[in-house]
Amino acid sequence: MTAEAGTENAGKKRDTPGDTDEEHGTYNIYLMGKRYKVPIGQTIMAAIEYAGYQFIRGCGCRAGFCGACSTVYRKEKEQKLQFALACQTRVEDEMYLVQIPFVPAYKARYDLGKMGAEDNTILTIYPEIARCVSCNTCTKSCPQDIKVMQYIQCALRGDIEKAAELSFDCIQCGLCAMRCPADIKHYHVGQLARRLRGKYIDKRSENLKMRNAEIDEGIYDNEMDDIMNSEDDVVRRMYNERTIESEEG
């Protein structure tokens, strides 16, 4: 099996079968069907640049945090489509690659201040989660290996806390939503769950409340005024005489 559907216009045909040049350190990859030779060991992102592309879309933090470079690929002789972040995945030989520049998924508008964290809160805002057919395609498409279907099921059950926890590492690339047969917008559901938990479920800090009350009362104003008006050598001495908490205990 060589070029398949959608790859007829794939630049040059391979010169000879298996001419991938591991010895000279290059792989063949196909960017939207066009073949390029790229050095072994690079990330998909670096390989695309090596091939001569200058990114506008499809490139963000380059470190796995932003979800800009979600990539769909298939390896020659395989049927399965796979999902990855271009900046976090090494290029492999005979990869057919495309990047998803944008996800047109709907995002609900809501005012977090005017809602609670009730069992049905998420379901009210994103009712389509009830359509989940448990096909697990979302989980399989997640480049972060998040148990996406599970957190959707948690959201459906009203377990906001767990939905928030399971979705925490989401980088919002949107691949889950692009693949879902039920048009669920998982990554937006996760965002809502986490904000609900942060605002309504997790206990608040008493220390913080006290400190803000102290600041509002102005109890630090005098000492801050003093230090602002102190000579630099005084401040330096105070700095050098600090006790360092992490060096003790």
Partner 1 sequence: MKFIDGYPEYMMDSIKVVEEKREENLIKKVKSLSPEARKDILSKYHPDYMADTKREVRIGVDKGSMMYNGIVDLIEARSILDTGEVDLSRVDFDVDLLVVGGGGAGTVAALFALEAGVELDNILITTKLRHGDSNSMMAQGGIQAADRPEDSPLLHYLDIYGGGHFTNKKELALALAMDAPRIIDWHENLGVMYDRTEDGEFQELSGGGTCRNRMHSAKDYTGMELMRVIRDRTRNLDIPVLEFCPIVELLMDENGAVSGGVAFNMETHEYYVVRAKATILATGGSGRLHLSGYPTTNHYGATGDGLVMSYHAGANLRDLDTIQIHPTGDAFPDSVIGILSTEKIRGLGAAPVNKLGEPFVFPLEPRDVESAAFIKECKDGKGIVTPTGMPGVWLDTPMIDLKHGKGTTEAKLAGEVRRFRRFGIDMVKHPILVYPTLHYQNGGVEINEKCETQVPGLFAAGEVSGGVHGKNRLMGNSLLDYNVFGRRAGIQAAGYIKGRKVGKLTLSHIDRYNRAVDELKIEGDRKAPIIVPEYRGKEALARALDLL
Task: Considering only the stretches 5-13, 15-23, 27-35, 42-50, report the one whose residues sit in contact with partner 1 under the rule CB under 8 A.
Answer: 42-50
Strand pairing report for 95-99 and 26-31:
parallel
Instruction: Check binding of 51 to partner 1 (CB under 8 A).
Output: yes
User: What angle, 0 to 180 degrees and rounded to 10, lies between the N-to-C axes of helices 186-196 and 148-157?
Assistant: 50
**Smallest separation, CB 104 to partner 1 (Å):** 13
Instruction: Check binding of 15 to partner 1 (CB under 8 A).
Output: no
- Binders of partner 1 among residues 79 to 118 (CB under 8 A) are 88-90, 107, 109-113
- CB nearer to partner 1: pick between 3 and 178: 178
Q: How far apart are CA 169 and CA 215, in angstroms?
A: 34
**Smallest separation, CB 181 to partner 1 (Å):** 25
Q: How far apart are CA 167 and CA 142, in angstroms?
A: 11
169, 181, 183, 234: residue in contact with partner 1 (rule CB under 8 A): 169
Task: Considering only the stretches 73-81, 92-100, 127-135, 237-245, report the one whose residues sit in contact with partner 1 under the rule CB under 8 A.
Answer: 237-245
Q: How far apart are CA 48 and CA 54, in angstroms?
A: 8
Q: In whole angstroms, how large is the CA radius of gyration of the chain?
A: 26
- CB nearer to partner 1: pick between 44 and 180: 44
Strand pairing report for 34-39 and 82-85:
unpaired
- CB nearer to partner 1: pick between 149 and 190: 190
User: Residue 154: how many CB atoms within 10 A of its CB?
Assistant: 23
- CB nearer to partner 1: pick between 15 and 145: 145
- Binders of partner 1 among residues 205 to 224 (CB under 8 A) are 205-212, 215, 220, 223-224
**Smallest separation, CB 134 to partner 1 (Å):** 25
Instruction: Check binding of 244 to partner 1 (CB under 8 A).
Output: yes
34, 131, 157, 236: residue in contact with partner 1 (rule CB under 8 A): 236
Q: Provide the token pair at 227.
A: 């230090």
3, 14, 20, 62: residue in contact with partner 1 (rule CB under 8 A): 62
3-state secondary structure 150-199: HHHHHHHHCCHHHHHHHCCCCCCCCHHHHHCCCCCCHHHHHHHHHHHHHH
User: Residue 129: how many CB atoms within 10 A of its CB?
Assistant: 19
95, 144, 155, 185: residue in contact with partner 1 (rule CB under 8 A): 144
13, 15, 22, 54: residue in contact with partner 1 (rule CB under 8 A): 54
User: Residue 71: how many CB atoms within 10 A of its CB?
Assistant: 24
Instruction: Check binding of 41 to partner 1 (CB under 8 A).
Output: yes
